[in-house]
Amino acid sequence: MLNDDANRYITLRRTLGYKLVKAERHLHAFARFATERNETHVRATSVLAWLATVARTPGARERRLTDLILFARFLHAEDPLHEIPRADVARSRHGRPIPYIYTPSEITRILDAAGKARRYRNDRLRRPLYVMLFGLIAATGLRVSEALALRLDDIQPGGVLHIRETKFRKSRLVPLHVTVIEALERYLDVRSQHAGESDWLFPSVEHRKLCPTTVNNMFRSILRRAGIALERHPRPRIHDLRHTFATRALEQCGAQRGMVARHFVALSTYLGHADIRNTYWYLEATPEMMADIASAAEMLVGESAV
């Protein structure tokens, strides 16, 4: 019965744009566990017992618990006999990782280091590829997965990228700045000489889709070569280029309420966020931004008191 309920829940949420690949596995695994205990409803004690058998780390327990809480809320609305587990029973002490916000000079050093990366005899595209890849992410805030999934026909006329059904099954158009368009054109000229018949914008040596692990290893090597945040733990990530883009964009929105609102909506759409609350998180990224928001809040309080 719980297995059928899980299928209904997954189907409904996918119509809203969620992929729920891992959540589907978690819910069906719990449904099997509950069925073996002859239970037809979600029980908080069973949730805890299941988590203890399948999740080895606090992070894994928290992710599975979150999936089960949402599922239980869905069922509880139909039948109060379903119990909703407490959200704090498996909460990890470690919150969302603090992003590393790159300075403009650090991004320049990253691209310079990528342009001087070790060159292999059979990979003449290595240097220009990584310069373009990291530069594109820094200039557009694309997710790494979105950049690696780009194909040649995703480059639209007028310097627009077509980002196809990525996270939350959302597609969107990403316009490029003129400087990015010029850099992309130079890269495509070089790429045409070494990429064979591959239609991936950033192909591997074998002309297939570039592996994320390979890219992450390359980025860590480039950070060391560029001497960026060598003492920081955890180390900065490629994804922090996306955080940096969002942070710098929000820093330019000023303190006027109308401007902030328009900036938020535009940025949320540009980044491909399914919920604007995901965009709010970037407000915490820099002290300068928090100071501006504090000043704006004081102005609003003053206006309301008049």
pLDDT in tens, 133-178: 999 999 998 999 999 999 999 999 999 999 986 665 678 889 999 9
Confirm if 57 and 50 have CB atoms less than 8 A apart: no
In this prediction, residue 168 carries a pLDDT of 56
Q: Assess whether 242 carries a catalytic annotation.
A: yes
229 Cβ neighbours under 8 A, 6+ residues apart: 100, 223, 235, 236
Per the residue annotation, which of 28, 162, 167, 209 is the catalytic one? Answer: 167
In this prediction, residue 150 carries a pLDDT of 95
Cα gap 2→36, rounded to integer Å: 11
Per the residue annotation, which of 43, 64, 143, 248 is the catalytic one? Answer: 143
In this prediction, residue 169 carries a pLDDT of 62
Name the pLDDT band for 288 (thresholds 50, 70, 90): low
Per the residue annotation, which of 61, 82, 191, 242 is the catalytic one? Answer: 242
In this prediction, residue 297 carries a pLDDT of 47
Name the pLDDT band for 94 (thresholds 50, 70, 90): low
Q: Topology of domain 104-226, per CATH?
A: hpI Integrase; Chain A (1.10.443)
Q: Assess whether 143 carries a catalytic annotation.
A: yes
The ranges assigned to domains in the chain are 2-76, 104-226, 239-305
Q: Assess whether 18 carries a catalytic annotation.
A: no
Q: Assess whether 19 carries a catalytic annotation.
A: no
State the average pLDDT over residues 51-60.
83
pLDDT in tens, 173-232: 899 999 999 999 999 999 999 888 899 999 998 889 999 999 999 999 999 999 999 888
Q: Give pTM, 2 decimals.
A: 0.66
- C-alpha distances (whole Å) from 262 to each of 201, 254, 256, 298 are 32, 11, 10, 20
